[in-house]
Structure 1
Amino acid sequence: MKTVRTNKNISIRTRRRALECYIEPILMYGCEAWTISKQTQKKLEATEMWFLRRMLRISWTAKKTNDTVLEEAHTTRLLISKIRKRQATFFGHVMRREKLENLVTTGMLEGKRSRGKQRERLIEGLTDWLKAGKSLEAIEATKDRKTWRTMIANAVKQGT
């Protein structure tokens, strides 16, 4: 794919589409179950910018900001919002099933909690992104597909 991504005879739009079709699905494999921390988000954004810089043949020693690279590529940062959207749709699907996956995803299992700082759960990251307030509000919103889809659409419009 390197020859296609860096070929200047191919338009930037076509190269970007090749990136979205062939490379991003590999990168986002299994992203529905990820909990995205600030550090993970920075790494994903850096990876997205690395792909764009390679596509435009911009050296890492060139003193170009990420904003100028995005302008040259005629795009914006979309990877995190795509991942969050996929997580939200999967979460809604799992919550509507009301099976064992529901209990595991919400973290409402019986037993002792481990020592130390607790890991961030998927639902906490989604409620922050959706600006739903409490996690229980988000869980209740998944019951109605139309409401859940509008919440996801509003969050995607606002960005990350």
Structure 2
Amino acid sequence: MVRCYILSTLLYASETWTLSKETENKIEAFEMWLYRKMLKVSYKDRMSNEEVLNRVSEERKLLSELKNRKMQYMGHILRSNGLQKQLLEGKVGSKRKRGRPRNTWLADIRNWTGKSLHDLARTAEDRTKWRTMASRASKGQGTI
């Protein structure tokens, strides 16, 4: 029920999100909140997250599912020749603002895989290699 109704609604269009550490923490906190509500466990009961996960016989997988979806979408974009690929590869000429640059959609994928856009595009041509890389990146295991 949770996977069907709640997580599918939450993950709608999540392929387009830019993830920061704060966002990742909020996603993991939401997942734990959801399991606690299912079990009717209050925070006052002082039950650890591991114990809650054992009771529902689950692992934390919401964040890895989100990363996997984002990697699949990236492969889809890199294999096509549409406007999205042109926007991804193009640069907008403007003066950079002061301060630390914001995290970009592509920077997330580069951090997860450790590869450049050119290497990602070459890997995306072979679907089996791309799927392997996407699953490893979503689990935090790095490159192939």
Shared fold (TM-score, shorter chain, > 0.5): yes
- Specify the SS of the correspondent of 1:77: coil
SS in 2 for 1:58: coil
Q: State yes or no: 1:133 paired with 2:83.
A: no
2:126 counterpart of 1:144:
yes
**Structure 2 matches for 1:27-38, cutoff 5 A?**
27-38=10-21
Shift of 1:159: 6.4
Uncovered stretches (5+) of structure 1, i.e. residues with no partner:
1-17
Number of aligned residues: 141
The answer as to whether partners of 2:53 and 2:59 remain within 8 angstroms in 1 is: yes
Q: What RMSD, in angstroms, separates the aligned Cα atoms of the two structures?
A: 2.0
> 110-119 vs 44-53, which deviates more?
110-119
- List runs of 5+ in structure 2 lacking aligned partners: none
The 1:22–1:41 alpha-carbon spacing in structure 2 relative to 1, beyond 3 Å, is: same
TM-score, normalization by structure 2: 0.87
Match of 1:105 in 2: 88
**Relative contact order: is structure 1 or structure 2 higher (C-alpha 8 Å, sep ≥ 6)?**
2
Distance in 1 (CA, whole Å) between partners of 2:50 and 2:101 is: 36
Alignment-mate amino acid for residue 74 of structure 1 = S
CA distance in 1, matches of 2:94, 2:44: 51
Q: TM (normalized to structure 1)? A: 0.79
Identity of aligned residues (%): 30
> C-alpha deviations, 1:23-68, integer Å up to 9, x for none?
1011111101001110000000000000000001100212111111
Structure 1 consecutive aligned stretches of length 4 or more whose deviation exceeds 4 Å: 156-160
